[in-house]
Structure 1
């Protein structure tokens, strides 16, 4: 039967499609020769830093592009070889690729730019290409400690720029496996990942892409194509020459976040918007545009990159670009990010007069400013056409007189508005369309909707629940003082909202009532500790005003330890003594925000009313306790704080969605609270009752199928039957997937009275999963074991005979074989327990390479058993035979008086027909003892290898044979150590 294979189905097809795009396919043998490998060299001997490149081609192109470059190939290669093997080295490599490197022309006593890649190939036909585009496979690297081999590597002018990992289409979690492999490359052979800037992982169905040195799951994206699984289309769009050159030249960004260097890639919708902004700005017949990219989709980077591209574009003709932002704290950040992109001509308008002087003086460059600095600005300060204004949060920034002052001061400018929320249906929304959308039939120049974002995994769905009725704002007060007020419609600024709420006397009195605050605080504390904290996430408590923040902090401190929560508010010099407790200086507030965004740190609940409700990005934030009336843009911006994807591989957390617990009653009036297109609202905000319905449906339709497998109250016969039933991989895979979906629903909903009828059945299904997973799963991605609440339930509800160390793991000794034969458990259980026992003993006895080899052979038996190539009895016989061989080996080893390592070396030397193998193996065994860090230290590795060579030199004369045996021993023992890790 034909089966999909990694090379046939994926790897060879990528090479074929790349060749059709104009990439020359270089065979592995040719690639290794061009990298300086010699015939007969072992991988460990031949791979070092500079042989990552096709060096001669790199130098030839460098001389072609830089005629005055000194004739010194080693000096050019040293530029790359000396780069640090980390994100900083990767940034420096990209600078070299982009032509930001320098070289000295001694006779002229000056420096010139070093060009290594010609980016003007973009848009040209192949006959006019100046670069050489090549692709090869099985690209191996070894650094003396570890060796890795990338499946496919794309090179431009001999520089590797893209790595593709290929996986078999029928392999479980293929994309996750490929990403893990790339993470391993960064850890084990980091020098391999210094020049490449991008990676993709595919199994011919999915196609994930990202940038090197940022393999966090939320920064790995699916390449959107026309059809799912169309590998040809994805390769021919992603690996198209213009696309890759565009990524390298423009759409990879390094920026500081929380004082750490981070690397980002602009996604398809971001790059598309930037190109549209450039096209609109250079269109002589149009001067307005509107970019709607939903919250959390990278709008800030889109604006920064658009500003940089506009400034540098020849068609802009030395322009002035105004970056209009909506928050003071963003001004410095914008300037820093522009500098990081290499834009020196960027300045901040410090005040109204400074901005007027900049415009009057005809300054050419990028100006970062805010709308309020246009207040009272004279008309016709600058009438140039090539002034481009990029306005953040355009749905509110240009409202009122300020927008008039702006457009009168620079009447011929092009205005591009950016918005993170949909344009609402109110008069304000219509005004935004009128201001920015007049040149586009649909009103938008580019749109990346909430639905698009959720489909891409850029943001998550939001689920809500209502607090008990007695805690909700009385409906008549809410409607009279807020929802029915015409002036509250379309409110897009938190300050405007606060002014409206100041007049909502009854509502505010209710929200801050002395009797209500302790009850709500208790409800929040209980919900957080029971529903959210066990999941590993954090929460916001959004209060109606700053005084309410103080009230809730004091109330929570009576229930939870004081370090569980903290308050972030703006300062007012008239504040009470109680509020001044939270007048943190900039450094302390910054530290609180930073610690909150981390896993397992305090605070776990932030109490806010205005600050952090826009712009603050903490993906670990899962729950929002909403106790402040909001609507439209302010509500959508606030709840969008909890919709950021989050993954923590170490803790095995993958955030399923965001959650809002509504203490106001807004979500009971969604059509009034969110005056946007209903399709957008429904894509984003969902009632948690939907999750309860889904859990109920799965427990009533799926769970009984699995529960009927338990016939004997979970005794040993049930365990054996489960192992046999789920021996089929596809059946097992389907069960794991179904169970994990049910488990996640339980974790989210629990504790809730709704779950009471399902508790016993759910615990039984969880126990079935425990047995099957422990028996078969080598690794379960996302969740290796139970989630926390499920684990507590299983411990409390079920006393089972799960396979575990206490009853199923054997010590490998002479009595074990007879013990296994005499036990009454089923043969299926014996097979599984034997394999687990062999693997565990191999892990524990780290000085015995034989056990690792034995574990590998046991795994082969298990694979044959699972695929039903071996009967249960035959698999059991083979495993017992392995144990018998191991006992014989241990007896022979004991007679020699050798430890496991020395005897392993002795056997290898005997296989090579070496005379006096016993004495030599003792010397080599002692050498391993004296260099315990040989796998971590290059010096220790070198010393150990030298000791092995000296030991062999006494009995062999051929140096080639000596080094071959030494390297083979090191390879085998390193492999054993790696397997144990």
Structure 2
């Protein structure tokens, strides 16, 4: 059995493992029968039965079940409808019980009793949405509701995951009413296994399940992912919907977030049931890994879990901005009982009154709080940014007021070596030998793709801050005071009079602004990314805006600062209303919209995620947690609509904090080493990669004419393994070139790099004709393709502008090496099928034969001479088909169904059926196509058409009528897609 078979190598084993894990397999026909048609998403009888079974005394009649199903079917076909469908699964919806004259909660799942649910898996799930029809590879349904779609690809497909992801995106466009019901999707081609949430379709939201589980084999991978108990838990507990700047977003938690949640719940349950059990814990999850959503999930689970007996959960935050954002998230994720502590006295009253549910407060509101205000054991305190929130008296007041509470601290930065950092371990981590209950390090997040690595670059010396002033006024004061938050940092800078004045010197500001403008135009904007300019204080932000406007269009940049009541006019002009700031924050996240540069000093340096942010121009001295939190704004993964992925973030340092990383980041070296690196690391890597090119790749065409060089390259990479190794190699070279360019460092490598680009272009065009070659290049490399294509260099086979048999025969007789001829013919046949296959379905069968020749040639089953001979035969058959089609095949009419009938005839002829018998079948089928025009969408018409085709094939003396009919009808369906 060939590994190239998607169905036998990937899809069928996946279904087999699902059945072994506890899912019941439904053949596609049976699933379609239970659905009641392709336009229906649910296994109708299963859902009707389960609604009544899971809701005794609430839904007692089939008619009530039908009404629930009607409501489910009418949810909006978008993310808003998907949230409503999730609310049904979560049990947040109600039905009116006439006998009780009140609303009662409705259950569609029972996560506590998996055996009470029905789990089905089916494949080839066709779904009709209006005029469009999709076919999902594998669908998992619980109680008749489709909850997971999995797209499978052959293990040998280089672009398998990307192609599967494109299909999932297409399903959202073409079958949104199905995707409104599904909550998760997965993509696999055996080697890799990715998953994500429906309606969350950026590459950064696609997670690698293999890395999360460390599974060594496909069976373990699949069974771990679709374990029924786990799927129920994910659907009901680990999906969140949250509004960010007014836009609804969907999140599915990562394994490290689920792990931390379960550990906190286990510790909390132990704490309320055992007298001497640990009552504290530290969750150390790096910046950008979803710490806020982990906290929200833990809070919700604690409140909803009956074992905790209607508890009080306090979310402790330390910034107004973060508090506001958290509160918005809480409203969005459906917390019913939320109390926002408006003042110290309000917080005191809430605790005195034995308030249950969720309380959100800032740490400073515990100042001078009386002892033992609430002595219950089922009080849970979740402390955000624990490395600085509970220091000093505030932490003592907090813990004194709630003496029996469970305290869980969260931090996103490594714990430093100072007394302050050690104190965090002491307060929260004393009950765990390693100092924390759960850890997800910066390095782990980079390996998982949750964040991207950071590189820094020092600005030219004449733009750098004065080193003596930095040493005297910043480093000394910062070390003395132990900077742990932005307010403390700002107090240090207020005292650094000489340094601050120097940073705001008008002449220096103008020079830095000119440099930033030039750098942004050359390095950042061409990649489609955006930037932050971080200034020393609010006045410096205003100065930089004025200066930057002299070098860039004014609409490209915007100032985002906190408003002060007594601000002078030159600051008041940059005050923003809440609506205007929200609009700017939203626009900044979107490619192609202004602003492209945010000028900030404090706002947006915590709690603001903009994955498109690539570069931070740093002109404000920072260190430790403040610095790591700030630069973490640029470590979010991002993928553009055309597939470009951000591979790293860049900090351009104007103040010199990165001259001494040990001093700037006083953390254990194992937590930060190799995470923030100088740009010279990329230069060294690029030089090493180009050295590899000069020994392994460029000699392939040294001293050869263009056609001989092309033949040598195509032959050298004929085996798939070395070809894919070259693609991976080139992608890394290209990504580093994208970051470094333009740079004098690259000049000695430019000619060789252009040769690599040409080689990559040739191979992609020859071996992957379905992939648009130019679109696969990143932006700066694409400029090379456009501006520096050379007539004597390697090129992809030239396009023939009049595609047809004559042009293809001309390629056969051209004076070119045989290998080049083979790929030119294959490429042009592929183009012909792509461009004309819908109008002339018979071309698809010719395309299939061409692809089979390609496969055999690439796998060295045939040599170039035999490939050319077979292609020549194929081109001659194409010419015959064209001539017959133009003459309308004698008895075939010019009705719109004639192309389908001709496709049937030509398919039969290419399978050695005599011409007269093939024509007789085609004539019968033309009448059938005319009588049954909706056979592709109507199950009844398809059955009648199949009967007609079976009879015609039997009359032609064909024995394998079912297999041949399947192949013919699949061919026609593909032409219609």
Do they superpose with TM above 0.5? yes
Q: Deviation string for 1:329-369 (max 9, x for gaps)?
A: 34444344334443311121222222122112111111112
Q: CA deviation at 1:2?
A: 6.2
1:471 aligned residue: 463
2:202 to 174, 198, 216: 216
Distance 1:815 1:246 in 2: 62
Q: CA deviation at 1:615?
A: 0.8
Q: Does 1:244 align with 2:235?
A: no
Indicate how the Cα distance of structure 1 residues 775 and 972 shifts in structure 2: closer, same or farther if over 3 A, else same: closer
Contact 1:643 1:658 in 2 (8 A): yes
User: What SS does structure 2 have at the residue aligned with 1:407?
Assistant: helix
2:408 to 416, 419, 424: 416
Matches within 5 A, 1:943-958: none
Q: CA deviation at 1:299?
A: 0.9
Q: Does 1:354 align with 2:346?
A: yes
The TM-score, its normalising length taken from structure 2, stands at: 0.88
2:222 to 235, 240, 244: 235
Q: CA deviation at 1:644?
A: 0.4
2:430 aligned residue: 438
2:684 aligned residue: 693
Distance 2:815 2:375 in 1: 93
User: What SS does structure 1 have at the residue aligned with 2:564?
Assistant: coil
1:256 to 216, 231, 243: 243
Matched positions, count: 938
1:97 to 86, 89, 97: 89
Contact 2:709 2:794 in 1 (8 A): no
Q: CA deviation at 1:297?
A: 0.8
1:85 to 62, 77, 83: 77
Distance 2:478 2:35 in 1: 75
Distance 2:476 2:824 in 1: 68
Q: CA deviation at 1:453?
A: 1.1
The TM-score, its normalising length taken from structure 1, stands at: 0.88
User: What SS does structure 2 have at the residue aligned with 1:108?
Assistant: coil
1:894 aligned residue: 886
2:290 aligned residue: 298
Distance 2:97 2:919 in 1: 58
Q: CA deviation at 1:659?
A: 0.9
Q: Does 1:179 align with 2:165?
A: yes
Contact 2:282 2:410 in 1 (8 A): yes
Contact 2:372 2:400 in 1 (8 A): yes
Q: Deviation string for 1:939-975 (max 9, x for gaps)?
A: xx89xx99x99xx9xxx9xxxxxxxx99999975552
Distance 1:89 1:841 in 2: 41
Distance 1:495 1:60 in 2: 56
Indicate how the Cα distance of structure 1 residues 234 and 878 shifts in structure 2: closer, same or farther if over 3 A, else same: closer
1:160 aligned residue: 146
Indicate how the Cα distance of structure 1 residues 640 and 33 shifts in structure 2: closer, same or farther if over 3 A, else same: closer
Distance 2:895 2:484 in 1: 72
Distance 1:890 1:916 in 2: 18
Contact 1:893 1:899 in 2 (8 A): no
Contact 2:809 2:872 in 1 (8 A): no
Distance 2:281 2:682 in 1: 40
Distance 1:108 1:152 in 2: 42
Matches within 5 A, 1:960-971: none
Contact 2:185 2:197 in 1 (8 A): yes
Indicate how the Cα distance of structure 1 residues 814 and 243 shifts in structure 2: closer, same or farther if over 3 A, else same: closer
Distance 1:10 1:651 in 2: 28
Contact 1:58 1:116 in 2 (8 A): no
User: What SS does structure 2 have at the residue aligned with 1:368?
Assistant: strand
Indicate how the Cα distance of structure 1 residues 392 and 832 shifts in structure 2: closer, same or farther if over 3 A, else same: same
Q: CA deviation at 1:852?
A: 4.4
1:651 aligned residue: 642
Contact 2:52 2:61 in 1 (8 A): no
2:902 to 895, 899, 907: 907
1:959 aligned residue: none
Distance 1:48 1:795 in 2: 46
Q: Does 1:384 align with 2:363?
A: no
Distance 1:460 1:712 in 2: 41
Q: Which moved more, 1:769-778 or 1:709-718?
A: 709-718
Distance 1:814 1:363 in 2: 81
Q: CA deviation at 1:268?
A: 1.4
Distance 2:223 2:186 in 1: 13
Q: Does 1:826 align with 2:826?
A: no
2:714 aligned residue: 723
Contact 1:847 1:901 in 2 (8 A): no
Indicate how the Cα distance of structure 1 residues 969 and 819 shifts in structure 2: closer, same or farther if over 3 A, else same: closer
Q: CA deviation at 1:66?
A: 1.8
1:69 aligned residue: 59
User: What SS does structure 1 have at the residue aligned with 2:733?
Assistant: helix
Contact 2:765 2:796 in 1 (8 A): no
1:962 aligned residue: none
Contact 2:285 2:412 in 1 (8 A): yes
1:32 aligned residue: 31
Indicate how the Cα distance of structure 1 residues 30 and 358 shifts in structure 2: closer, same or farther if over 3 A, else same: same
Distance 2:147 2:809 in 1: 58
Contact 2:811 2:824 in 1 (8 A): no
Contact 1:838 1:851 in 2 (8 A): no
Contact 2:381 2:408 in 1 (8 A): yes
Q: Which moved more, 1:778-787 or 1:614-623?
A: 778-787
Distance 1:544 1:920 in 2: 79
User: What SS does structure 2 have at the residue aligned with 1:617?
Assistant: coil
Indicate how the Cα distance of structure 1 residues 778 and 916 shifts in structure 2: closer, same or farther if over 3 A, else same: closer
1:618 aligned residue: 610
Q: Deviation string for 1:501-524 (max 9, x for gaps)?
A: 111122222222233222222221
Q: Deviation string for 1:854-908 (max 9, x for gaps)?
A: 4343333323332233332333333333333333333334344987966414526
User: What SS does structure 2 have at the residue aligned with 1:485?
Assistant: helix
2:851 aligned residue: 859
1:736 to 712, 723, 727: 727
Distance 1:759 1:489 in 2: 50
Q: Which moved more, 1:444-453 or 1:103-112?
A: 103-112
Q: CA deviation at 1:92?
A: 2.6
Q: Deviation string for 1:167-224 (max 9, x for gaps)?
A: 3333213333333333333333334434332233333333222222223221121224
Matches within 5 A, 1:363-402: 363-402=355-394
2:582 to 580, 590, 601: 590
Contact 1:848 1:900 in 2 (8 A): no
User: What SS does structure 2 have at the residue aligned with 1:708?
Assistant: helix
